[in-house]
């Protein structure tokens, strides 16, 4: 193990990831390296636990758990039923441990096990490839009555490509907005994936028919899982925590529309977004971010050359983020911003 770790470190790997890859703790390797001969000095247990189940008891647990009477029950149900009969062999955790070791600790009933599939990962490497959209409430002066903000955002550039404020939540409004964005952005059939949650305006017949006619591919979150539509949720949080967001309800529909219009102009053209190296969404959407970030990199390199003693490490990373993923898997790819 030490020779393999040494080979990995010689190739540029750090010690901690190398230990994690080989399956041993960092502290253990450090202890080995500090030993005179580099030997493994672990002694291990010298005796069996006094409360360990006997082979006969283990076999009896397996026999009972797989018998016709109990094979469809979980250990949490088997143990109380045995207690009602005056029988005790082991605890519920012992049943679980033994069944897990025998690869029997799974769904054993005749019903279908619960399914919880993650939505398909959508990856964008440029503008107008993956959109996210949602609807949020804006308070009106009538208690229990709201205005509804429809908002579409490009996840790669974070640009708000379309918005609309209405007094009702209707799929017709979202369909009309999608068609308007399709025209204004000059999209082509099959170019864009559009992700949303499972609300009626998102999955209604009118909206789906519009998307199909335009060649926009729909994608949906899991029911009641807001994290699957993280970009829209984060955008709405930015909107409602904006210092200029009214502390009182909007006076009327026109007031709500005017405020949202000003917010969109600020967000797209002035707001420097942290996830895209602090450039504005409009600059990134138009492809100007590469030049902006290159100039920043040159400024930092010049400052470092002028006074190298102030730099203990390398310059700040100003390279553009090339890949953005929606609902990415747990294993992230290099230079990938994932939701």
Over residues 60-85, the pLDDT tens digits come to 999 999 999 998 888 999 999 999 99
Instruction: Record the pTM.
Output: 0.67
Region of 224 (left: φ > 0; alpha: ψ -120 to 50; beta: rest) is left
pLDDT of residue 146: 96
pLDDT of residue 173: 94
**Mean pLDDT, the chain, whole residue set:** 89
CA-closest candidate to residue 218, choices 194, 202, 192 = 194
Token duo for residue 277? 């190296």
In the block, tokens 């964005």 appear at 181
CA-closest candidate to residue 324, choices 158, 185, 134, 117 = 158
pLDDT of residue 23: 87
Cβ atoms 39, 28 nearer than 8 A: no
Highest mean pLDDT among 50-64, 99-113, 176-190: 176-190
Q: Which pLDDT tens digit goes with each residue over 179-206?
A: 999 999 999 999 999 999 988 889 889 9
Q: Which pLDDT tens digit goes with each residue over 257-287?
A: 999 999 999 999 999 999 999 999 999 999 9
Element (H, E) at 193: strand 193-196
Distance CA 271, CA 205 (A): 36
CA-closest candidate to residue 226, choices 215, 216, 234 = 234
Element (H, E) at 237: helix 230-240
């Amino acid at each position: 193990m030490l020779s393999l770790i040494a080979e990995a470190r010689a190739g540029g790997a750090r010690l901690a990831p190398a230990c994690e890859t080989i399956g041993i703790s960092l502290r253990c390797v450090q202890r080995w390296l500090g030993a005179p001969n580099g030997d493994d000095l672990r002694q291990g247990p010298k005796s069996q636990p006094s409360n360990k189940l006997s082979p006969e008891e283990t076999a009896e647990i397996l026999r009972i758990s797989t018998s016709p009477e109990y094979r469809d029950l979980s250990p949490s149900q088997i143990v109380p039923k045995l207690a009602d009969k005056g029988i005790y062999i082991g605890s519920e955790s012992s049943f679980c441990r033994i069944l897990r070791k025998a690869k029997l600790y799974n769904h054993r009933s005749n019903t279908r096990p619960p399914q919880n599939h993650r939505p398909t990962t959508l990856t964008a490497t440029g503008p107008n490839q993956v959109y996210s959209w949602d609807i949020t409430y804006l308070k009106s002066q009538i208690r229990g009555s709201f205005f509804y903000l429809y908002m579409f955002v490009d996840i790669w550039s974070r640009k708000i490509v379309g918005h609309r404020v209405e007094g009702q939540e209707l799929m017709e409004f979202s369909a009309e907005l999608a068609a308007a964005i399709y025209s204004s952005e000059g999209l082509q059939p099959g170019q864009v994936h559009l992700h949303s949650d499972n609300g009626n305006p998102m999955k209604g017949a009118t909206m789906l028919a519009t998307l199909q006619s335009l060649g926009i591919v729909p994608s949906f979150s899991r029911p009641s899982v807001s994290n699957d539509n993280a970009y829209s949720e984060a955008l709405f949080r930015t909107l409602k925590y904006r210092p200029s967001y009214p502390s009182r309800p909007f006076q009327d529909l026109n007031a709500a529309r005017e405020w949202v219009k000003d917010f969109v102009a600020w967000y797209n053209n002035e707001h420097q977004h942290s996830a895209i190296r602090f450039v504005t969404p409009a600059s990134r959407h138009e492809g100007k971010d590469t030049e902006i970030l290159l100039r920043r990199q040159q400024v930092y390199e010049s400052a470092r050359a002028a006074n190298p003693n102030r730099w203990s490490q390398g310059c700040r990373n100003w390279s553009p983020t090339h890949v953005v993923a929606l609902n990415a898997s747990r294993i992230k790819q290099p230079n990938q911003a994932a939701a």
